[in-house]
Structure 1
Amino acid sequence: MLNPPDGMPRITPVLFYADLGKAIEWLIEAFGFEKRKVLNDDDGSIVHAELSFGEGVVQLAGTGDGRRHEPRGQGEPHQSLYVFVDDVDEHHERARKAGAVIRDEPGTRFYGDRNYTAEDLEGHHWVFARRIEEIPYDEIDTP
C-alpha cells in the first residue's frame, strides 16, 4: 500500500465550506482548479471533494453535522494557501472577474516571488505566486 496514495501529495490542505457545491464551481471558475473526486451522501449532497491544480491537491469538506470549522466570523484568517501559478497577473484578473476579494494586489516581494492574495467566497485566503528570482534563504532582506 502506498503512503501517501498515488497522486496525492504528502501534505494536503482541507478547507471547510458551508456550500460545497457552490465552492467547487467557484474555485474552478475563479482560480482554475480541476475537479478530481466528489463524494456524495445517500441524498446526493456533496460531503467531500478533491480539486487539483497541476500536481497540487486541496480537499474540501462541509461544515454541517456539528463541525466547528467555520472560517467566517472568526476574526483574522486562521490559514492561508500558497499556490504557484504560471502567470500571476493573468490569474489575478481571472479571480477578480469571478468576484474574488483581492486582499493584496500583485507585486514582487522581497523574497523573490511575485504574488497576490485573494479571499474566496467563504473567507479563505489564497496567495497565488510565481518565483521570479531565486534568493538564498540566508540572503533575504526582510523589511
Structure 2
Amino acid sequence: MSDLYRPKGLSSAVCYLDPKAAFRWLEQAFGFEPLLVILDENDNLAHSEMKYGDSVVMIGNEWSADHKSPKSVDGKNTQTVHVQLARGEDIDAHCEHARKAGAEIMQEPSTQFYGDRTYRARDSEGHIWTFGVTIEEVGPEAWDKATGLKTKTRL
C-alpha cells in the first residue's frame, strides 16, 4: 500500500490511443513494473501507474483535446521521458531488448561527454524515451573543457 503514495518528486503521465497495449508493452520492452491499474465499469483503463526504480510513469488514454498520443498529432512530442538505469546495468542489452520488443531505436547507444551512455527509442504510438546509465563521473569542468560549453547552476 505504501508504494501507492509517493514522496515529493516528479512523475510523467503519457497518453495512448491503446493504453492497455502500451502498459503491457512498456513492461515487456523497457522493464517498467506494474504498480496500479484502475478499470472502469466496461473494463476500459481509467488510470494506471508503472514504476522504474523510485520513479512512476502514469499510462492513460486520450482524455481531452489537450491530452493526445503522438500518433494522433502527426507523431509530434511536446516532451520526452528520460529513464536512468542503475550504475552497472548493461544499456546495450537494454537497447537490444527494447528493439526486439518492437521499439524504433532512434539513436544507438553512445557515450556522451558528460559520462553517461545513452540511447533513444520511439514506441509504437510515437512517444520518445531516452535511456541512460552513468559509466564515468566526468564533472562540469571536464565537459566544459571538452565541449566549449559553460555549465552553471543559475542563469
Q: Does the TM-score normalized on the shorter chain lie above 0.5?
A: yes
Counterpart of 2:9? 10
Q: 1:75 to 1:122 in 2, by over 3 A?
A: closer
Consecutive unaligned residues of structure 1, counting only runs of 5 or more, are: none
Indicate the SS of the match to 1:43.
coil
Counterpart of 2:25? 26
Q: 2-side partners of 1:11 and 1:60: how far apart?
A: 15
Identify the match of residue 129 of structure 2 among 120, 126, 129. 126
Are 2:98 and 1:95 aligned?
yes
**TM-score between both structures, scaled by the size of structure 1:** 0.87
In the TM superposition, what is the alpha-carbon distance from 1:29 to its structure 2 partner? Answer: 0.6
Q: Choose between structure 1 and 2: higher helix proportion.
A: 2
Counterpart of 1:135? 138
In the TM superposition, what is the alpha-carbon distance from 1:64 to its structure 2 partner? Answer: 4.1
Are 2:119 and 1:116 aligned?
yes
Q: 2-side partners of 1:115 and 1:58: how far apart?
A: 20
What root-mean-square deviation, in Å, do the aligned CA atoms of Structure 1 and Structure 2 show? 1.9
Identify the match of residue 105 of structure 1 among 108, 111, 116. 108
Amino acid at match of 1:80: T
Q: 1-side partners of 2:115 and 2:80: how far apart?
A: 19
- What is the CA deviation profile of residues 50-107 of structure 1, one whole-angstrom value per residue up to 9, with x for unaligned ones? 0011222101121145554232334543211111122201101110100100000011
How many residues were matched structurally?
139
- What is the CA deviation profile of residues 27-51 of structure 1, one whole-angstrom value per residue up to 9, with x for unaligned ones? 0110011100011112111121100
In the TM superposition, what is the alpha-carbon distance from 1:6 to its structure 2 partner? Answer: 3.5
Q: Percent identity over the alignment?
A: 37
Paired residues of 2:47 and 2:60 also in contact (CA < 8 A): yes
Paired residues of 1:103 and 1:118 also in contact (CA < 8 A): yes
Consecutive unaligned residues of structure 2, counting only runs of 5 or more, are: 149-155
Larger Rg: 2
Q: 1-side partners of 2:136 and 2:21: how far apart?
A: 37
